[in-house]
Amino acid sequence: MNNDPLILAISILFGAIVGSFLNVVILRLPEENGSVVFPPSHCPRCKTSLSWFENIPLLSYLVLRGRCRHCHNPISLQYPAVEVLMSVLTAAIVYRFGLSVTAAGYFLFCAALLVIIWIDIHHQIIPDVISLPGIGLGFCFSFFNSFVSWQDSLIGLLAGGGILYAIALLYYLLRKQEGMGGGDIKLLAMIGAFLGWQSLPFVIFMSSITGSLIGLLAMIPQQKGGNTRIPFGPFLSCSALAYLFFRKDILRLFLLYFQ
Ligand SMILES: [Zn+2]
């Protein structure tokens, strides 16, 4: 644990800078031949390249009052949102785990989840280039991780991938259509690798409940019946984040319930 105000302030700044890089990844990763370094940052509407002072995390958005300086089109709220979220997550990780290898590993985990959440919302895919290396990284990291042992990580990775695969197969056999994408399976394997198998009951329980609720709400205006597709990745990711920061309370509640 680290509650030094200076260290936390630096974490917030660092998180905002990384968040603005994540915005570029979210925008360009799903593009074919998308490069995250070239071309330099530009307005997605009028394509004008941004000068350095239009590219400062959060501040630029506030100073420009959410509009492009050239074409005056609104700038997506996603940009400041990702920057704020990454700032808060970075500070929370440093506060919780101090300046440690464990903190560094979970910093990468949170960054990966944020990218997955937004790409899944926009494109209904979870990119393999994030989830597959994430599975390997989560397992390697477990050898240096004070939060999860490598045995728990290995079981988590196998069970996470296996459980969802079984559910997806069952759903396919019953309804003859794909209910859950392969991307969700790889994402849960990555979550199991980073958080250990103990996280899986909560992550699956919480994401199914919140996912079904939001799914039902989304169906009301469309009147389409049971086939509205909503991406499941954001629910898995948010449940994983909740577990990362509230593990003790969550496990205590689970034990109370099952006793
Ligand atoms: Zn513009």
52 Cα to the center of ligand 1, angstroms = 15
Residues in the chain: 259
Instruction: Report phi then psi at 42, rounded to 5.
Output: -145, 165
85 Cα to the center of ligand 1, angstroms = 24
234 Cα to the center of ligand 1, angstroms = 29
Max CA pair span of the chain = 62
Q: Which residues contact 242 (CB under 8 A, 6 or more apart)?
A: 202, 206, 250
Per residue in 207-259, pLDDT (tens digit) is 999 998 988 887 777 655 555 567 899 999 999 999 999 999 998 888 887 76
43 Cα to the center of ligand 1, angstroms = 5
Per the listing, tokens 């996603």 go with: 78
Q: Which pTM was predicted?
A: 0.88
198 and 152 in contact (C-beta within 8 Å)?
yes
69 Cα to the center of ligand 1, angstroms = 7
What integer pLDDT is reported at residue 143 of this predicted model?
Answer: 96
Per residue in 164-222, pLDDT (tens digit) is 788 878 878 887 766 566 889 899 999 999 999 999 999 999 999 999 898 888 777 76
